[in-house]
């Protein structure tokens, strides 16, 4: 799913996305009452959920995609509202649920931005960072970003807006942004 996001639509797009998330609970609740533990785990790991933003993939894969999508959506919101003076873009292209290609992209006149985004457990951060960094270095853009969940590192403040090898790291505290929505 690809979106063009700006200040006029970012909040409503986040709202639409979160509304789709509310569908995820029901299939799990239904299956939890009918399956033994092994079959429930197998259902969650292997069977299409039939609900949520990605109905054709399992609950497990939905979770992976959803967590990365939230980093992208709230990362773009942060770029638009909190970091607008540092990044000269009024509109961002976001590719949700994809595994290849640029996750976040922007273009204003002759200046461009390319970003890789991910959500990962702290134990896998070094590996994921290395992979995303390698990918981001291949982009031809004046601004290159790595956006990731703030709880992937011990001290997110040390990583936020850190520049390394021409790449700017941007930590996204998904739980903070969700709490701001008053859900």
The two three-digit tokens of residue 36, written as one number: 């033994």
> What are the C-alpha distances in Å from 14 to residues 45, 58, 115, 177?
26, 22, 19, 10
Query: Does the predicted model carry a pTM greater than 0.85?
Result: yes
Q: pLDDT per residue over 121-137, tens digit each?
A: 999 999 999 999 999 99
Query: With 0-12 CB in 10 A as exposed, 13-18 as middle and 19+ as buried, what is 117?
Result: buried
Q: pLDDT per residue over 17-44, tens digit each?
A: 999 988 988 888 888 888 899 998 999 8
Q: pLDDT per residue over 55-107, tens digit each?
A: 999 999 999 999 999 999 999 999 999 999 999 999 999 999 876 779 999 99
With CA atoms as reference, report the closest residue to 111 among 77, 86, 131: 86
Domain residue limits, the chain = 2-180
pLDDT score, position 183? 55
Q: Taking all residues of the chain, what is their mean pLDDT, rounded to a whole number?
A: 93
Query: With 0-12 CB in 10 A as exposed, 13-18 as middle and 19+ as buried, what is 112?
Result: middle
The two three-digit tokens of residue 52, written as one number: 């949520």
Three-class secondary structure assignment of 7-63: CCCHHHHHHHHHHHHCCCHHHHHHHHCCCCHHHHHHHHHHCCCCCCCCCCCCHHHHH
CA distance 79 to 88: 10
With CA atoms as reference, report the closest residue to 89 among 116, 118, 114, 117: 114
> What are the C-alpha distances in Å from 47 to residues 29, 64, 163, 165?
15, 15, 41, 41
């Amino acid at each position: 799913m690809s979106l063009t996001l700006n200040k006029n639509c970012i909040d409503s797009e986040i709202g639409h996305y979160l509304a789709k998330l509310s569908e995820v609970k029901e299939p799990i609740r239904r299956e939890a009452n009918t399956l033994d533990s092994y079959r429930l785990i197998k259902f969650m790991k292997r069977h299409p959920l039939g609900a949520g933003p990605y109905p054709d993939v399992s609950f497990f894969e939905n979770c992976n995609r959803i967590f990365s999508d939230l980093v992208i959506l709230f990362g773009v919101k942060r770029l638009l509202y909190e970091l607008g003076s540092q990044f000269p873009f009024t509109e961002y292209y976001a590719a949700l649920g994809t595994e290849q290609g640029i996750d976040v992209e922007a273009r204003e006149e002759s200046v461009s931005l390319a970003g890789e985004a991910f959500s990962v457990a702290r134990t896998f951060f070094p590996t994921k960072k290395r992979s995303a960094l390698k990918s981001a270095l291949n982009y031809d853009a004046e601004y290159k970003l790595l956006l990731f969940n703030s709880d992937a590192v011990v001290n997110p403040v040390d990583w936020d807006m850190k520049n390394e090898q021409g790449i700017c790291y941007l930590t996204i505290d998904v739980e903070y942004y969700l709490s701001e929505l008053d859900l």
